[in-house]
Structure 1
Amino acid sequence: MNFWEKVTGSDLTRQWNAFAARAAALPADCQAAWGQVVGCLFPYGDFSGRNLTPIADAALALLEQAAADGQSVDEVFGDDIGGFCTALAGGHGARTYRDRWREQLNRNVARKLGRLGG
């Protein structure tokens, strides 16, 4: 990836288009699950969303393997796709905007209390 691709995000567009093409080849129930997975993962994205591509790739590969093995979506993800995505993103160290805001708030409070108490 060169500088221009990184600045414009064209590499991300290519990757997500490739994900969409792979998902289109899946059965209908897996395609619906892929849509839910993407929706559940986006809150964990950083500014550019680059941190989501390996996570999304792993989830899509799991769906592709399940479709090849004839498994249902419930057998793979269970009944809570959102919980599965949270665990998957958390395992990769992705944080939501709430996590980042909470850390910022805690730093600001600690800094203010340090000034008042010191």
Structure 2
Amino acid sequence: MNFWETITGSDLTRDYKAFEARAAALPADHRAAWDQIKGHLFHYSDFTGRNLMPIFDGVLGLLEETAADGQDIHEVLGDDIPGFCAALAGETGGRSFRDRWREQLNRNVAKKLGRLGG
């Protein structure tokens, strides 16, 4: 990865397109699970999404292997895809960027209210 790719994010676009091409070869139920997983994992993304690329690669590899083995998607992931994604992103209850922003907003509001009341 060179400086230009880092700045523009073109490497992320290329990787994401490659993931989508791999996902297109999956059976329908595995593709549906892939779409749900992507939606839930983006909540744990940093500003660029760069931190999710290795996770996406691992999840897609898991889906490809289970599809090749003929396993049902519910055998692999269960019914709790949000919980599965939380476990992948760290720990269940792991902090996301929304949690950090919420805490920062609460601190800022508390400071403002403290100044107004004093």
Alpha-carbon distance, 1:13 to partner: 0.3
Counterpart position of 1:2 = 2
- d(CA) in 1 for partners of 2:86 and 2:4? 32
CA contact (8 A) 2:41 2:86 kept: yes
Alpha-carbon distance, 1:38 to partner: 0.3
Paired amino acid for 2:96: T
Paired amino acid for 1:69: D
Q: CA RMSD in A?
A: 2.2
TM-score, normalised relative to structure 1: 0.83
CA contact (8 A) 2:43 2:98 kept: no
Structure 1 residue 97 corresponds to structure 2 residue 71: no
Q: What is the aligned-residue identity percentage?
A: 70
Unaligned residue ranges in structure 2 (runs of 5+): 113-118
Unaligned residue ranges in structure 1 (runs of 5+): 113-118
Counterpart position of 2:58 = 58
Paired amino acid for 2:80: D
Q: Does the residue aligned with 1:48 lie in a helix, a strand or coil?
A: coil
Counterpart position of 2:115 = none
CA contact (8 A) 1:5 1:11 kept: yes
CA contact (8 A) 1:41 1:85 kept: yes
Paired amino acid for 1:78: G
CA contact (8 A) 1:23 1:31 kept: yes
Deviates more, 1:82-91 or 1:49-58: 82-91
Counterpart position of 1:33 = 33
Alpha-carbon distance, 1:26 to partner: 0.5
Count the aligned residue pairs. Answer: 113
- d(CA) in 1 for partners of 2:66 and 2:49? 26
Q: Does the residue aligned with 1:79 lie in a helix, a strand or coil?
A: coil
